[in-house]
Structure 1
């Protein structure tokens, strides 16, 4: 049977029709989408119909991923950005103007702190850093021009737990926009909107995606007008995540609850194990009774301590180098939330821009490590950390 030849190979072939549908989400990498006519495009942009026009403004894979995270946070209308920092940036720059002031936790992620210290002043936006475990410190920082508060429920890397009840009351009393970076805690550990948040931010790169192969962020505001300002900023500044990364992150979400629960259980057991090893000065884990915010953590986090454990060893940089090298099967990498356990050293990574005195004021010495616990067998992790710490001890003998 003869068939007519295609007039040109550059003509797009229509997608095959099918009475069945794919089980796996398809990847749609197209940068642009064709419309029938100008009126049809008007209808789309003016909200009478739904669709896509240009992928910087959104694409199907971003929509699918955002809807999944929306469901986890109990909201709708969130957007996917190219990284966690893009989500922070879209929220802060989208909602603040020249002359405004923001109060932020003094133990935010390192790049968030850099934004406060170096970038916001260039836009004429003022800031004050305050201890999120002390609501009085936040209240003392309020000015007439204060518009927002930005906090992480659990700080990085010292795992202090913010006084969220007090901060929420403060924000509501003064009409401030409360932004919560929920990356560490995740919706599995804490539900910001149920506790009074106005904006929720995630680095999807971390626990949600969970495999260190997709870099994305997520941001959503409860109020539609605030969300519109955030989304417009993200689109204008080109912060949209790629379809492929969105596809990978959505696939990672399928196992998120299993990964989180397994890792959190192992983290609690690893924390107790580390506390009993010679050469370990202290262990920081919210569910341990010796944690300075233990009671608050139990109340806020519903008994879930999360997958992050920090600890400090005796000795300085030489001991730290030895420990990292001795933990051969644990990736020494400045990340968290991977399916496998990773180890990071804050003084040489997330907080390297701070002076030694500034780091020590936060409790971050050269012997301070942060562990992102994965899903490996806990006995294996205990064995590997024991050997690594014993090797570090040997540098001092």
Structure 2
């Protein structure tokens, strides 16, 4: 038999094209000549060379999220924390100061409190719902402010308008994590934020089978810094995960609206139950930021509900066991409802005193509402609450 080359190259030509984006896992891409490769790196022509520097599935996904967020040139990376890392380590230098919201995702807080200081970057935290507190926490060397539109896990709503004005006044970058709220509720770049962050893992992909992040910046120089840092440090997104996330985006609006409607119903139901100390949901009139949420989120409450049992860890354990069928898992945005206990998961690295100052008691839970039948979901929560009362 005549020997053949291992990779003769190319797909067979055809008059049609695929309706679904093909999965393209290739690590490397061949060029026609050194001149052609020079032209590509010089920006004369477009193309791919090595997957760490970019690949088709990541670009397809990034352009779809760009369109949703009103962004240009967003970058898909390997996780939500990879996106946060690209911003904090890709843009800040030793001697800078970053001001973070005091209620961020636990690993974001850890990066601010432990990782950045050892690299010579000073950090502090303040309440993003209180613009005077944020202003007072600024320093002459403050370079960047990092907030979440709706905080994890207490669902406080940041004073976005005030923070945008403050950042402009002081010539400071404002980076906004839009994971909880998504572009369905708010588009921070269009409001005036400088940098946008997503954990695509969550609502955007929506099926708990993808780990991805997304980061976009208005300024081209900032976008280049983010890209170069991500490529150098290998924050590469998997083609397969990008392909799955693009599929998830096809049903995003439908999933968001269904989960949001059920979340509102669950929040109202929990508020009337014995043994529940408080319920947090942005559209409820008893939410501390209700008025701001109504205007900022255009009437949306999103799919997250937080509540606190009036007893401690024993009641929490009993509730989780009693709410059989709801996954106890430190994630959000799945098609199924998930239950998170910050004191034992996302915020376990914080001291008990700091958790207490944030209101994260042993009885505090965060719920990511999924697509179940609402009546069936309420019945499961009732069983959990009854078990907690009997603990």
Do the structures match in fold with TM over 0.5? yes
Q: How does 1:378-393 map to 2 (within 5 A)?
A: 378-393=374-389
Partner of 1:208, secondary structure, is coil
**1:199 alignment partner in structure 2:** 195
Q: How many Å apart are 1:326 and its aligned residue? A: 1.2
Q: How does 1:87-236 map to 2 (within 5 A)?
A: 87-236=83-232
**1:368 alignment partner in structure 2:** 364
CA distance in 1, matches of 2:115, 2:356: 24
CA distance in 2, matches of 1:63, 1:262: 29
Structure 1 position 238 matched with structure 2 position 234? yes
CA distance in 1, matches of 2:379, 2:2: 64
Structure 1 position 8 matched with structure 2 position 43? no
Structure 1 position 278 matched with structure 2 position 293? no
CA offsets per residue over residues 242-283 of structure 1, 9 Å max, x none? Answer: 100000100000000000001011100110000111111110
Aligned equivalent of 1:343, options 335, 339, 345 = 339
**1:289 alignment partner in structure 2:** 285
Structure 1 position 50 matched with structure 2 position 52? no
CA distance in 1, matches of 2:162, 2:149: 12
Q: CA RMSD in A?
A: 0.9
Give unpaired runs (5+ residues) of structure 1.
Answer: none
Structure 1 position 266 matched with structure 2 position 224? no
Q: How many Å apart are 1:8 and its aligned residue? A: 2.7
Partner of 1:366, secondary structure, is coil
Partner of 1:127, secondary structure, is strand
Q: How many Å apart are 1:73 and its aligned residue? A: 0.6
CA distance in 2, matches of 1:239, 1:108: 21
Aligned equivalent of 1:301, options 291, 297, 301 = 297
CA distance in 2, matches of 1:314, 1:181: 31
Q: How many Å apart are 1:11 and its aligned residue? A: 2.9
Q: TM-score, normalised by structure 1?
A: 0.97
Runs ≥4 in structure 1, deviation > 6 angstroms? none
CA offsets per residue over residues 94-150 of structure 1, 9 Å max, x none? Answer: 111111111110101000000001110121111110111111111111111111100
Number of aligned residue pairs: 391
Q: TM-score, normalised by structure 2?
A: 0.99
CA distance in 2, matches of 1:250, 1:75: 17
Q: How does 1:61-76 map to 2 (within 5 A)?
A: 61-76=57-72
CA distance in 2, matches of 1:273, 1:174: 44
CA distance in 2, matches of 1:6, 1:164: 68
CA distance in 2, matches of 1:378, 1:9: 58
Structure 1 position 23 matched with structure 2 position 19? yes
CA distance in 1, matches of 2:9, 2:85: 39
Q: How many Å apart are 1:237 and its aligned residue? A: 0.5
CA distance in 1, matches of 2:315, 2:200: 33
CA distance in 2, matches of 1:95, 1:253: 29
**2:35 alignment partner in structure 1:** 39
Q: How many Å apart are 1:7 and its aligned residue? A: 2.6
Aligned equivalent of 2:318, options 319, 322, 327 = 322
CA offsets per residue over residues 279-318 of structure 1, 9 Å max, x none? Answer: 1111000000000000000010000000000001121111
Q: How many Å apart are 1:14 and its aligned residue? A: 2.5
Change (3 A) 1:180 1:6: farther
CA distance in 2, matches of 1:244, 1:206: 16
CA distance in 1, matches of 2:244, 2:200: 11
CA distance in 1, matches of 2:356, 2:140: 32
Change (3 A) 1:226 1:6: farther
